[in-house]
């Protein structure tokens, strides 16, 4: 469970101080799916980065399962990311020189897992996204949708509690987008993930339990009463 | 192991970048190998020259300058007679003499492992025309032969040590005062002499017991005699004119030189270092080239290679920033990422070393093939041997003056001789180890700079970077 209190993130642009993120209070319960929408440059990605411990806010606290991410050293944040948080990026961020299986395996490197077990987990993860037969292919030999499937397998292979997805279908065509979202939704439900997804696409957002709107760094969250798929859980919290 | 897989994929997956970095390092390393081989070749050539002058195993020679009044052999003033005369004298004309006891004094010094004496002589045979003979009409130029008296008990030092027995036998302790001689094979061949033949030196008939092959380019002695017999024939009993000294180790040569200088202040104490300074000619020019221009060229190339490798690695880190940011997002510690990068750079360094050594071998072979034989011009006065290596009659060395009047003899104190040395540039194990070490250092420098860049990379900023 995430609990954000008084989180702000600002940066200097010349003499001007720009507020990238301002979240007075937000609770995201385990297993929630929060879809955040907003215009480009309004702080959606910054929200994901502070939630993932990739960036530190200027003020406030971000509690994940009792641990305040804002008070942790880099090494501790790295450990949390390696164990509990999975990331999916709009541009997939696969390592071009590695095969699909090796890209997935990269997520298990920080974990003390024996090689044979690691290969088994990688194989399972690729199977779960329907790419068991593409394990040896390099990213350039895969379509955009397949690359994103590899990225999803990479994010989920370590069985994280939290999945942070930054416009995961932003670079995909409509058909592939629907496939990827259906897959994500299935995996979210299957693995009881806490999913925070940034998206420009309202059709995708409608599937989430909670909707968030980002405007000039301010986040407003409300329950999605018109959720397309089956409702999963009651809203954990909201605010701007 | 994922580390190796990732490393292999990166190097093979970005071949152009890897090739440029490895080639840059290889260029620098190759040049270091060539320059190092050139230096070794020059040292080897200098060693050959010095060896031909000293003999093998000698670190230091001790001689004294010749005193004009003390020239032995009684050949300074020849008074013409009314009838022609044949003279055959054995003289120490380029070196002053030392008491034979000097050897014992030197051998008692600390750090001296051996001291052996020798007598470097010249036999001059000439026919002095009658004083009433028409000028120039019957004058025959003098013939001189280089003769060296060697300690029959210690033939492993001095001039005789670099000679290789071709026929017969060498000296033994029993030969000390015997009428025996060992000849240079070229000299013997020119005079149709062989083992068992007889020659006359200073009026004594000597039996040839052996022939030796020597480096002709170094103008070696032509006749070897047992030391005691040489002293008798040169009328220098109890005298020597050169002492060959071997130090306990190469590192102690300087210290032993100083000690001998203190013991014998008037003596000329020469070691390979100060003898090498007296060597001129193309060998000296090559040495200067290798030691000055070559060394700085290699250093400059290395600096450029290291800089290029570092800049390319930094550029690669910048280009791969998103990749490293992704790895950080996946939970990779900075230490693991920098280790990966260092591994890549190390592998490129090793590849650079292999290519560089190969290039070095090629370059060295090219230099060895293209390089002409070197020559070393050596001041004879500094040598202490082969004082009259050439035809001094032709060179205007020994005899001059007005025939028909008093004939004055002198040795040209600034005479030189040229030693031809075939040039060979060997690649030593040290050079190869140095090349590998330099390449690895180059790779690590580049990797460290890249690693420093990675540790400063904020994950969020890295992920936002554009590839």
pLDDT digits (tens, 9 = 90+) for B263-297: 998 888 888 777 666 666 666 666 766 666 667 77
Higher pLDDT, B413 or A177: A177
Q: Does B459 touch chain A (CB under 8 A)?
A: yes
Higher pLDDT, B449 or B216: B449
Number of A/B CB contacts below 8 angstroms equals 82
Please report residues of B whose CB lies closer than 8 A to that of A102.
2, 5-6, 9
Does the predicted model carry a pTM greater than 0.80? Answer: no
Question: How many residues does the structure list for chain B?
Answer: 467
A136 near A100, Cβ under 8 Å?
Answer: yes
Cα–Cα–Cα angle for B383, B375, B371, nearest 5°?
A: 150
Work out the minimum CA distance from B327 to partner chain A, whole angstroms: 8
According to DSSP, the β-strands at A67-68 and A218-223 are unpaired
H runs (alpha helix) in B320-384: 321-329, 334-370, 380-383
Question: Who's near B408: CB < 8 A, 6+ residues apart?
Answer: B76, B77, B400, B401
Q: Does B334 touch chain A (CB under 8 A)?
A: yes
Q: pLDDT class for B225, splitting at 50, 70, 90?
A: very high
Three-state SS for A200? coil
Mean pLDDT of B376-381: 58
Distance from C-alpha of B182 to C-alpha of A33, rounded to nearest angstrom: 105
The secondary structure element, H or E, covering residue B296 is helix B295-319
Residue B74 has pLDDT above 90, yes or no: no
B128 near B87, Cβ under 8 Å?
Answer: yes
- B329 closest CB neighbour out of A52, A109, A158: A52
Mean pLDDT of B21-29: 85
Question: How many residues does the structure list for chain A?
Answer: 240
Q: 213-272 in B: which are within 8 Å (CB) of A?
A: none
B69: buried, middle or exposed (CB in 10 Å: 19+, 13-18, 0-12)?
exposed
| Residues paired with residue A38 on neighbouring β-strands, in sequence order | A214
**Given this model, what pLDDT does residue B141 score?**
76
Q: Does B319 touch chain A (CB under 8 A)?
A: no
Residue B23 has pLDDT above 60, yes or no: yes
Q: Is A192 left (phi over 0), alpha (psi -120 to 50) or beta?
A: left
Please report residues of B whose CB lies closer than 8 A to that of A96.
13
Residue B378 has pLDDT above 80, yes or no: no
A102 and B9: CB-CB below 8 Å? Answer: yes
Q: pLDDT class for A141, splitting at 50, 70, 90?
A: very high
Q: Please state the ipTM of this predicted complex.
A: 0.89
Q: Does B330 touch chain A (CB under 8 A)?
A: yes
DSSP string, B240-255: ESEEEEEESSGGGHHH
Distance from C-alpha of B80 to C-alpha of B127, rounded to nearest angstrom: 11
Residue B407 has pLDDT above 50, yes or no: no
Which of B176, B180, B187, B186 lies closest to B209 in space, CA to CA?
B180
The alpha-carbon radius of gyration of chain A (Å, integer) is: 18
Q: Does B151 touch chain A (CB under 8 A)?
A: no
Q: pLDDT class for A26, splitting at 50, 70, 90?
A: very high
Q: pLDDT class for A4, splitting at 50, 70, 90?
A: very high
pLDDT digits (tens, 9 = 90+) for B43-56: 777 666 666 666 65
According to DSSP, the β-strands at B223-226 and B143-150 are parallel
How many CB atoms neighbour CB B405 within 10 A? 11
B152 near B172, Cβ under 8 Å?
Answer: yes
pLDDT digits (tens, 9 = 90+) for B87-124: 888 888 778 888 888 888 998 998 898 888 888 888 88
The secondary structure element, H or E, covering residue B448 is helix B429-455
Question: Who's near A113: CB < 8 A, 6+ residues apart?
Answer: A121
Work out the minimum CA distance from B338 to partner chain A, whole angstroms: 14
**Given this model, what pLDDT does residue B339 score?**
92
């Amino acid at each position: 469970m995430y609990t954000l209190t008084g989180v702000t993130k600002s940066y200097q642009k010349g003499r001007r101080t720009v507020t990238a993120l301002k979240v007075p209070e937000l609770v995201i319960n385990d297993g929630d799916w929060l879809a955040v929408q907003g215009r480009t440059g309004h702080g959606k990605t910054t929200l994901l980065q502070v939630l993932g411990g990739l960036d530190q806010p200027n003020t406030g606290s971000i509690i994940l399962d009792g641990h305040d991410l804002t008070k942790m050293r880099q090494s501790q944040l790295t450990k949390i990311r390696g164990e509990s948080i999975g990331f999916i990026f709009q541009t997939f961020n696969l390592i071009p020189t590695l095969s699909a299986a090796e890209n997935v395996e990269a997520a298990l490197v920080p974990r003390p897992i024996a090689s044979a077990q690691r290969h088994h987990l990688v194989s399972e993860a690729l199977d779960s996204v329907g790419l068991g037969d593409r394990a040896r292919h390099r990213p350039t030999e895969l379509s955009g949708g397949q690359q994103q499937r590899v990225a999803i397998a990479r994010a989920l292979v370590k069985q994280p509690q939290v999945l942070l997805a930054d416009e995961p279908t932003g670079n995909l065509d409509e058909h592939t987008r629907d496939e990827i979202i259906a897959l994500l939704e299935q995996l979210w439900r299957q693995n009881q993930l806490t999913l925070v997804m940034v998206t420009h696409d309202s059709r995708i957002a409608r599937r989430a339990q909670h909707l968030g709107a980002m405007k000039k760094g301010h986040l407003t969250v409300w329950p999605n009463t018109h959720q397309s798929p089956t409702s999963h859980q009651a809203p954990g919290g909201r605010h701007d | 192991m994922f580390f190796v897989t990732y490393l292999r994929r990166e190097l093979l997956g970005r071949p152009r970048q890897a090739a440029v970095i490895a080639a840059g390092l290889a260029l620098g390393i190759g040049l270091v190998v060539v320059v190092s081989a050139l230096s070794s070749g020059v040292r080897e050539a200098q060693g050959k020259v010095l060896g031909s002058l000293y003999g093998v195993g000698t670190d230091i020679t001790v001689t004294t300058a010749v005193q004009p009044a003390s020239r032995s052999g009684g050949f300074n003033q020849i008074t013409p007679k009314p009838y022609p005369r044949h003279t055959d004298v054995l003289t120490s004309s380029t070196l002053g003499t030392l008491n034979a006891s000097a050897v014992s004094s030197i051998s008692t010094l600390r750090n001296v492992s051996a001291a052996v004496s020798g007598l470097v002589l010249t036999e001059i045979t000439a026919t002095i025309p009658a004083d009433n003979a028409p000028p120039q009409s019957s004058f025959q130029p003098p013939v001189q032969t280089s003769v060296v008296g060697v300690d029959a008990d210690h033939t492993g030092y001095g001039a005789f040590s670099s000679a290789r027995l071709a026929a017969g036998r060498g000296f033994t302790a029993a030969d000390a005062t015997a009428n025996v001689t060992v000849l240079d094979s070229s000299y013997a061949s020119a005079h149709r002499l062989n083992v068992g033949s007889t020659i006359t030196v200073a009026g004594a008939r000597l039996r040839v017991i052996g022939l030796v092959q020597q480096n002709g380019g170094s103008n070696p002695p032509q006749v070897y005699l047992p030391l005691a017999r040489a002293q008798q024939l040169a009328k220098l009993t109890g005298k020597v004119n050169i002492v060959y000294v071997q130090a306990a180790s190469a590192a102690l040569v300087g210290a032993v030189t100083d000690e001998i200088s203190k013991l014998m202040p008037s003596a000329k104490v020469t070691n390979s270092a100060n003898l090498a300074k007296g060597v001129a000619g193309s060998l000296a020019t090559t040495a200067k080239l290798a030691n000055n221009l070559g060394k700085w060229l290699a250093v400059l190339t290395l600096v450029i290679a290291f800089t290029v490798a570092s800049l390319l690695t930094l550029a690669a880190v910048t280009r791969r920033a998103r990749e490293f940011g992704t790895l950080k997002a996946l939970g990779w510690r900075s230490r693991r990422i920098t280790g990966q990068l260092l591994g890549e750079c190390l592998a490129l360094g090793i590849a650079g070393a292999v290519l560089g050594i190969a290039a070095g071998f090629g370059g060295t072979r090219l230099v060895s093939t293209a390089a002409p034989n070197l020559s070393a011009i050596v001041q004879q006065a500094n040598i202490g041997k082969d004082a009259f290596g050439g035809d001094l009659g032709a060179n205007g060395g020994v005899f001059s003056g007005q025939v028909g009047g008093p004939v004055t003899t002198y040795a040209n104190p600034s005479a030189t001789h040229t030693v031809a040395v075939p040039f060979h540039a060997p690649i030593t194990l040290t050079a190869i180890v140095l090349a590998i070490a330099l390449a690895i250092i180059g790779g690590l420098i580049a990797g460290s700079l890249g690693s420093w860049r990675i540790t400063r990379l904020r994950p969020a900023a890295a992920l936002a970077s554009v590839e």
